[in-house]
Chains A and B, each alone.
Chain A
């Protein structure tokens, strides 16, 4: 069983479109994240949710809106896509808010290409 699964794996779309990426974890974790990896492999957190509540919202354009219907799911919706949004987006999850020694488990990533 896949621990953290994201769909789709690849997404090619035109500028101006709206798209969503879905993420599900079956690890029973409380906390989920979205990270963005740019073309130079740099990873930066975008959002974090704990038990469906937003706890981290880094400086991300308002066009990006996360939604967590339950603690096992964290989806990412992107409006009015721009060329600069092209990247690999990773979903991750971890257990126990506040316990710094717990590692995060990552999905396989969604490669978004905006043309």
Chain B
């Protein structure tokens, strides 16, 4: 079945450091890929998405590129801020099914 694997956290960085959170997936067909963010005490918000191979999703300084050859969708940001501290979820959605499959989430902690 479809699955998403994320790196375990927490990821602890200082402000202005470079961020990478790894995400790989297993899926049949051509899934769409998403990154969601969950701030403390809140629901999930879509951060960015990519719907086909080589697409790059970007938002708020975050980027991720859909790499079909490596089945990956790594999240990157050049300079993190304290306000980026949250849990980040990688997810896929297969065109044939009506559900998002999530990774286990990666907690990011950014210190001043």
- Residues of chain A whose beta carbon lies under 8 Å from any beta carbon of chain B: 4, 31, 33, 40-45, 48, 50, 55-56, 90, 92, 94, 97-109
Contact = CB atoms under 8 A, between A and B. Distances in A.
Contact of A50 (B51, B98, B104): B98
Interface in B70-97: 87, 89, 93-97
A103 B36 CA distance: 10
Interface residues of B, number: 28
A90 B96 contact: no
B34 A103 contact: yes
Contacts of B101: 45
A59 to B, nearest CB: 13
Given A100-B31, A101-B49, A45 B43 contact: no
B46 interface: yes
A80 to B, nearest CB: 26
A54 B69 CA distance: 35
B98 A97 contact: yes
A102 B100 CA distance: 10
A40 B95 contact: no
B25 interface: no
B96 to A, nearest CB: 7
30 contacts: A31-B98, A41-B105, A42-B104, A43-B44, A43-B89, A43-B102, A43-B105, A45-B99, A48-B99, A55-B98, A56-B97, A92-B100, A94-B98, A98-B96, A98-B98, A100-B32, A100-B93, A100-B94, A100-B95, A100-B96, A101-B49, A101-B51, A101-B93, A103-B34, A103-B46, A105-B46, A106-B36, A106-B44, A106-B45, A109-B43
B70 to A, nearest CB: 20
Nearest to B106: A41
B45 A41 contact: no
Given A31-B98, A45-B100, A100 B43 contact: no
Nearest to A42: B104
B105 to A, nearest CB: 4
The list of the 6 closest CB pairs from A to B, nearest first, reads A100-B95, A101-B51, A43-B102, A106-B43, A106-B44, A101-B32
